[in-house]
Structure 1
């Protein structure tokens, strides 16, 4: 399915974003979305799923995440506890499938085997798993792997088979199971803040989209969509101020204020009835946009 330029109700799409999403869907390759925090990387994935009417599964990657954690998790501690209990009773230990919890990639690739935790027809004592996106009536899914650059360096390489062939093996079962997806049914979207260089083999398998910070006009468009256009003058004034602070931060090699912080500032102005020309705005700006001990730059609004 193709995203059109008029599909922008909840997310402001540039032609570059639309092209990158369409290229990823046409090639069956993951879309790697790079950009500074707050540029809308995570929001883009959720919105694409909504526009397509597809299921949306997401995983936030941390320094402790293994590639397997994006496919399934095995509760070895609970199984050990049950094994010890079965030694002192007449009961038998349940199949290993009962201790498996399918994760995003498994649900997206094959929801049927995920719902059965990989159990066979004869393993009736394995409770079904609950699809977190069961309410969405679609055979297709968008998968978000958020902040892949926070993972250990071997994790992206351990994902190569899942990314390239859309398959992986669940070897934690009594009998290993190969889970296979279909390219036309799965759109994988991966975000990176650029904190760590990703392996070349991983990059070769991705379509890459670099999200630049929104311009003042784009910020106003986002704000008007979120809050309505009644306070458009305030939206523009604060947007232009944020762009100015962003440029000063860049010159001083400091963290730049983000779109999310811009929206927080607008929400605070609306709820607290603070006008961008009032004396209280300087304190709010320091608290929500500048956020550092350095003196607040002179306002140009």
Structure 2
């Protein structure tokens, strides 16, 4: 697949692989590793979202790499990075700001502690920081005393652009995605009747869905979407090669084959299929405990790592 990587080019900071794919590996100041292999379809989807200035919606089974992709894209772009996991209780306003009523109540009842002006108890959310960090630092008020100004909680980038991940958007009530559309379309919102406008030139919103709930049609129409293909044994082996370069390739192959068999069992039983996290856990146990795939010990490891859902559903003392 040939196209111009005008906005996002992982090859600029990564290692070329076969099939026009690129591997990008970063370690942040905390020692956290960010590693991703981009194929041409995924790179194109990211470029389309950036060109169209639309949210990028990532769909796929849990563990397929949706969440880890967002941080890696921010690293490649050199942008600031923010993230928030959405729950069934999340409202669109929660992504922008919250009011710390408990802190205000404590200030009111503790002797020798003054109650601050009302706006000092506003706590900016990740979406506010991603869109307008200057006003977020001031909680929306230009005359905010210096001692009450906030530091940016995001992961710093090389440029003053931002990527924000809103993880598991499908868990929210249907009105939340639609409310987000208005905020993203107008690049503005209000905080306790104070209008706030976005000041960053570029902000890429990345959302993920596990398909737990159908998303509103109006929301989908305004997103660029990418669905992760189902992984095969060769894909998992490549993951192991990237994450565990000192590992034994035969072990990677053996465990990947057993993982695929476990995924087939889970699919047939209507259970969640084990993914990348379980595969890497199994590889660590495989190497550290000196197992082989035909040993009794491995069968127990497989049961508690790959067959988690079925193990929990089993009767006590049974399989």
Establish whether TM, by shorter chain, passes 0.5.
yes
Query: Which of residues 65, 70, 82 is equivalent to 1:40?
Result: 65
Alignment gaps of 5+ in structure 1 = 296-301
Q: Which moved more, 1:153-162 or 1:24-33?
A: 153-162
Cα distance in structure 2, aligned partners of 1:134 and 1:128: 18
Q: Write out per-residue CA displacement over residues 51-87 of structure 1, whole angstroms, 9 at most, x where no aligned residue.
A: 21211100011111111111111112322444566xx
Deviation at 1:195, TM superposition (A): 0.6
Cα distance in structure 2, aligned partners of 1:70 and 1:159: 9
Deviation at 1:17, TM superposition (A): 1.2
Cα distance change, pair 102–181 in 1 and its aligned pair in 2 (3 A): same
Deviation at 1:274, TM superposition (A): 2.3
* Residue 242 (structure 2) pairs with residue 221 (structure 1): no
SS at match of 1:209: strand
Partners of 1:94 and 1:125 within 8 A in 2: no
Cα distance in structure 2, aligned partners of 1:155 and 1:64: 10
Query: Which of residues 100, 103, 106 is equivalent to 1:78?
Result: 103
Question: TM-score, normalised on structure 2?
Answer: 0.82
Cα distance in structure 1, aligned partners of 2:40 and 2:123: 39
Match of 2:23 in 1: 8
For these two proteins, the number of residue pairs brought into alignment is: 287
Query: Which of residues 120, 123, 136 is equivalent to 1:101?
Result: 123
Match of 2:305 in 1: 288
Partners of 1:35 and 1:212 within 8 A in 2: yes
Question: TM-score, normalised on structure 1?
Answer: 0.87
Identify which of structures 1 and 2 has the higher relative contact order when contacts are C-alpha pairs closer than 8 Å and 6+ apart.
1
Query: Which of residues 248, 260, 265 is equivalent to 2:265?
Result: 248
Partners of 2:79 and 2:156 within 8 A in 1: no
Deviation at 1:280, TM superposition (A): 1.7
* Residue 152 (structure 2) pairs with residue 131 (structure 1): yes
* Residue 190 (structure 2) pairs with residue 190 (structure 1): no
Task: Give the alignment of 1:139-288 within 5 angstroms.
Answer: 139-170=160-191, 172=192, 176-182=194-200, 185-288=202-305
Cα distance in structure 2, aligned partners of 1:133 and 1:156: 23
Query: Which of residues 62, 76, 92 is equivalent to 2:87?
Result: 62
Q: Write out per-residue CA displacement over residues 143-187 of structure 1, whole angstroms, 9 at most, x where no aligned residue.
A: 0000011112221122121222332222x2xx51323255x5211
Alignment gaps of 5+ in structure 2 = 1-6, 17-21, 25-34, 315-319
Q: Which moved more, 1:192-201 or 1:208-217?
A: 208-217
SS at match of 1:11: strand
Partners of 1:163 and 1:205 within 8 A in 2: no
Match of 1:120 in 2: 142
Aligned-residue Cα RMSD (Å) equals 2.3
* Residue 52 (structure 2) pairs with residue 27 (structure 1): yes
Cα distance change, pair 67–201 in 1 and its aligned pair in 2 (3 A): same
- After the TM superposition, list the runs of 4 or more consecutive aligned residues in structure 1 that deviate by more than 6 angstroms: none
Cα distance in structure 1, aligned partners of 2:269 and 2:142: 60
SS at match of 1:78: helix
Q: Which moved more, 1:160-169 or 1:148-157?
A: 160-169
Match of 2:27 in 1: none
Partners of 1:141 and 1:187 within 8 A in 2: yes
